[in-house]
Structure 1
Amino acid sequence: MFYLNMNAVLAMLGMVIVLALTRKWRGNKRLLLLAFNLSFLVVFSSKLFFFYLGYTALNYLAFRFLSVVTRARLAWFIGLIALNIGLVSSLRLFDMKIFTGTWYDAALVIGLIYNVLKVIDALYFAYFFKQDAKAHVLDYFNYILFLPTFTSGPILKFRDFMADAKQPYQVDAAQAEVNIKRIILGLFKRVVLVTWASTLFDYVSEGELQTHESLFLMIVFYAWIYFDFSGYSDIAVGFGRLMGYNVPENFKKPFSSPTLTQYWRNWHATLGDWFRDHIFIFFSRQTPTKWTAAGLSVLIMVLIGLWHGFSWLYLLWGIYHGLFIALENLLGRTTVNKRKVSKTHFYARCALTQLIVTLAIIVYSPNEEAVLRIYRGLLNLPW
């Protein structure tokens, strides 16, 4: 959301320069970064600023409370998570026009669907580590409000961010060069390649759709989504690391994934990791059986689908992916070792995985009517 606004890009670049110039001040990453995050939000939207000020403060108190409470800890843990999920779900209903309100701002949902995952990760940390779960209030606020990852990730892990916060600002010239190039690459993807893919998609979709046109549109839309999201991630990783925090990779060569299980460890990797870590930790403390793993795979993919949006298309998308991953678990085919199979076998599995993904990727489109039209064309249906 922010990275298509040149003023926002220049503001973050300015913050990087300020951090570099004040590197001898050990507290620059805490105080200056927090001041920047809050200042940016208040300029962007005062409504967003006051909402996040209250939301972050309340969740910090919840984090501290959960780390010290001794009675009914599990109930408090589940209750605090439920409150956060209830909030983001309620805002989703406003976003869907089921509820209306003059105070509502779509930007709240854009940020909250990612930030609620960070809040829950912090609550997990407090619940499992109890009194050892400590975080300075400034670091917690920076964790939630960290601007490079505010609207679309990558999703930061609480423990890793707190460890980075304790380190002084140490970005050198070589790191600066690498990350500036990363930001330029991300901007090229988002401005040039996304424009190209979206224009081609719109042009082809205007005509009558038969099987080959619909399949072509799915492939073009896949490229569109990849350039858009991986471009955003490149910019977020670049700026995050220039600000002294090791933002994790979100795309790890997803097109060379020989199974759907591995694909979801490589495509939007931090989201898949978040759901696996938190669902498996909560429902399966020991090594799960194949059937348990299969069931949890379906649950995780359904939750990821609903996380993207409350619609029957996203629900079906989650079931579709979940069933394939469940089948891989049941057949013991969740991974393929490239060194132990022939190149033909490996790349055939990669192609099959991409076909499975491509046939469902169009669901990401916000235009439900266009999605159904493309599927009708794919199946060559007259209605």
Structure 2
Amino acid sequence: MWFLDVNILLLLIAAGFAIMILRVINHNSRFKLPINHIMAISTLVILYSIDKKLLFFYVAYILITYAFNIILLKAKRFKKVLFFTFSVVAILPFLFGRFDNIFLILGIAYTIFKAIDSFYHTYYGEQKIDFLTYVNFILFLPVFTSGPIHRYREFASTMKAPIKPSVENISYAARRIIRGFFKKVVLVALVTIPFVHLQELTPTWSISLLLIVMSYLLIYLDLSGYSDIAIGIGALWGIKVPENFKKPWNAPTMSQFWRSWHVSLSDNIREHIYVVVVKKKITKLQGGLIGFLTMIIMAMWHGFNLPYLIAGTYLGLILFIENIFSITTLNRRTANAVHFRLRCLTTNFLFALNSLVFTLPHDRVLPVLKGLVSF
């Protein structure tokens, strides 16, 4: 994992403090240093120190996708065809890595989402993408391998008005980084030990239930821990990184759950599908189909295999049903407290069932599910 490599972590933190110092100098001087240029150059140097081939790939990817944005902006004819074609081409490195596995391009999955978001920005917003901002957008190292995912418009805004350097900001960044490592290193280890032991036992309803709860915890602690570290290091760089987890255990429906769990990814996919499908108020059927497609795409994004497809279909059907029957939301203020908590528990349990696909060997998932009815 990116942040668990001490050398890379120190490089990112050192770069963050260097950029923070430069921002202080700019604040107190008439002569303004080109910090955005320095950020881009330092990022390229860090990538070069990690892997030369990785650097050359991303330089080529940035130049090609930026050229696509220029063509999209200037195109008068066949704009829709170009938009679709460029999006497919941007995805090809990810597909190649999934199907062939000759090499794995670090960070490509999240980079693709950002590249396609830039196409949406150019195609629908008809606004030019600034090249320097685009380089920093694609290569922003704190979120490079596992998000959270910026949208181009959001990233451009925070580049223009970065977080002001202060003692409070350093303190905030340190707290988020420490919290992230505590989740990823300490808590994940504490949950993993009994989780591995329980897998060796014959599944009964109690063992299966414990495995499901621990599976949920492992995924949450790992992903939210990474997000905490990314947000903390991003703050040092002066860039606001979006929150990825917003107390998902307080979500009473699956639709609300996905507005609290891995938010930047689910929102990115859902909203981009929404833009293509419809621009006005959507019907229940359209909303259900958008939710269903979002879950299928997210499943395939994790991997091209049958268990992931089944998991995506399962979650997609829940979202589809919620939309069709208009049960996508439940207001905590107006709902009975006991009813609200039961709905939250049910929603999180339904998601936890899906989490087994990502934490257990695939041949162990079905026995654990069957164990729930073994008394």
TM-score where L is the length of structure 1: 0.92
Aligned counterparts of 1:18 and 1:167: Cα–Cα separation in 2: 18
CA contact (8 A) 1:139 1:165 kept: yes
Deviation by residue 1:134-171 (Cα, 9 ceiling, x = unmatched): 23322111100110000000001100111222235622
Paired position in structure 1 for 2:108:
112
Deviation by residue 1:84-118 (Cα, 9 ceiling, x = unmatched): 223311211123xxxxx4xx2x3x1x411111000
1:294 equivalent in alignment to 2:300: no
Paired position in structure 1 for 2:350:
356
Aligned counterparts of 1:201 and 1:34: Cα–Cα separation in 2: 42
1:14 equivalent in alignment to 2:14: yes
Aligned counterparts of 1:372 and 1:151: Cα–Cα separation in 2: 31
Paired position in structure 1 for 2:29:
none
Aligned counterparts of 1:248 and 1:352: Cα–Cα separation in 2: 27
CA contact (8 A) 1:261 1:325 kept: yes
Aligned counterparts of 1:50 and 1:369: Cα–Cα separation in 2: 39
Paired position in structure 2 for 1:230:
224
- Gap runs ≥5 in structure 1: 96-100
Aligned counterparts of 2:44 and 2:323: Cα–Cα separation in 1: 45
CA contact (8 A) 1:19 1:28 kept: no
Deviation at 1:8, TM superposition (A): 1.5
CA contact (8 A) 1:262 1:335 kept: yes
Aligned counterparts of 2:319 and 2:290: Cα–Cα separation in 1: 10
Paired position in structure 2 for 1:67:
73
Paired position in structure 2 for 1:331:
325
Aligned counterparts of 1:315 and 1:29: Cα–Cα separation in 2: 44
* Secondary structure in structure 2 of the residue aligned to 1:323: helix
Aligned counterparts of 1:236 and 1:21: Cα–Cα separation in 2: 20
Letter in 2 for 1:45: D
* Alignment partner of 1:179 out of 164, 173, 183: 173
Alignment map for 1:238-253 (pairs within 5 Å): 238-253=232-247
Letter in 1 for 2:55: F
* Secondary structure in structure 1 of the residue aligned to 2:349: helix
Aligned counterparts of 2:35 and 2:208: Cα–Cα separation in 1: 49
CA contact (8 A) 1:19 1:169 kept: no
Aligned counterparts of 2:304 and 2:311: Cα–Cα separation in 1: 12
Deviation at 1:325, TM superposition (A): 1.1
Paired position in structure 1 for 2:369:
375
Deviation at 1:373, TM superposition (A): 4.1
Deviation at 1:27, TM superposition (A): 4.4
Letter in 1 for 2:92: G
1:313 equivalent in alignment to 2:307: yes
CA contact (8 A) 1:135 1:162 kept: no
Deviation at 1:120, TM superposition (A): 0.3
Letter in 1 for 2:10: L
Aligned counterparts of 2:367 and 2:56: Cα–Cα separation in 1: 42
Q: Name the Cα RMSD after superposition.
A: 1.7
Deviation at 1:3, TM superposition (A): 0.8
* Secondary structure in structure 1 of the residue aligned to 2:4: coil
CA contact (8 A) 1:204 1:213 kept: yes
Letter in 2 for 1:123: F
Letter in 2 for 1:255: W
1:41 equivalent in alignment to 2:47: yes
Paired position in structure 2 for 1:344:
338
CA contact (8 A) 1:29 1:244 kept: no
Counterparts in 2 of 1:63 and 1:366: CA distance versus 1, 3 Å: farther
Aligned counterparts of 1:343 and 1:136: Cα–Cα separation in 2: 50
Deviation at 1:183, TM superposition (A): 0.7
Deviation at 1:338, TM superposition (A): 0.8
Counterparts in 2 of 1:369 and 1:45: CA distance versus 1, 3 Å: farther
Deviation by residue 1:157-190 (Cα, 9 ceiling, x = unmatched): 1001112222356222212211211111001111
Deviation by residue 1:266-313 (Cα, 9 ceiling, x = unmatched): 000001110111001101111111111112211111111111111111
CA contact (8 A) 1:29 1:169 kept: no
1:78 equivalent in alignment to 2:72: no
Q: Which moved more, 1:204-213 or 1:293-302?
A: 204-213
Name the % identity. Answer: 34
- Gap runs ≥5 in structure 2: 27-31
1:128 equivalent in alignment to 2:124: yes
Deviation at 1:210, TM superposition (A): 2.3
CA contact (8 A) 1:252 1:267 kept: yes
* Alignment partner of 1:189 out of 171, 183, 191: 183
* Secondary structure in structure 1 of the residue aligned to 2:333: helix
* Secondary structure in structure 2 of the residue aligned to 1:266: coil
* Alignment partner of 1:56 out of 59, 62, 73: 62
Aligned counterparts of 2:100 and 2:230: Cα–Cα separation in 1: 28
Count of aligned pairs: 369
Aligned counterparts of 2:231 and 2:109: Cα–Cα separation in 1: 19
Q: Which moved more, 1:214-223 or 1:115-124?
A: 214-223
* Secondary structure in structure 1 of the residue aligned to 2:201: coil
Q: Which moved more, 1:31-40 or 1:311-320?
A: 31-40
CA contact (8 A) 2:204 2:371 kept: yes
Counterparts in 2 of 1:352 and 1:18: CA distance versus 1, 3 Å: same
CA contact (8 A) 2:173 2:236 kept: yes
Letter in 1 for 2:192: S
Counterparts in 2 of 1:204 and 1:170: CA distance versus 1, 3 Å: same
Deviation by residue 1:226-271 (Cα, 9 ceiling, x = unmatched): 1111000000011112211111000011000010000001000001
Q: Which moved more, 1:235-244 or 1:133-142?
A: 133-142
Consecutive aligned runs of 4 or more in structure 1 exceeding 6 Å deviation: none
